[in-house]
Amino acid sequence: MELDPDLQFKHYSVAEAQLPADALARFKHVSLTEVEICCDLDHHVFNPAHTDPKVGDALRGTHWFDVHEWATSGPGAGAADASTSAA
């Protein structure tokens, strides 16, 4: 991925991703096996363009990052610059 080559995004159901309990508590009237998230589980980064909006809203305020936040102000800030300058 051009933002950070270490990120590997895959699609999961929310149940498979084993999201934090405080985020799961925000879901009401939703089957966790039917709602999807596109994320890198190891880095706790999700792609909001490919994730159910309810999931993105629930993850805000947790230790998870929106991919754009990761790249601009989070741990991945500057990763794309570093990888292009090394090339």
User: Tell me, what's the pLDDT at 49?
Assistant: 95
pTM here is 0.80
Give the per-residue pLDDT at 1: 47
Q: Tally the C-alpha atoms within 13 A of residue 73's C-alpha that lie toward its C-beta.
A: 4
Contact 25, 17 (CB under 8 A): no
One-character DSSP codes across 70-81:
HHHTSTTTTHHH
pLDDT tens string, the chain, 87 residues long: the values are 466 788 999 999 999 999 998 888 887 777 888 889 999 999 999 999 999 998 999 998 899 999 999 988 878 786 655 444 444
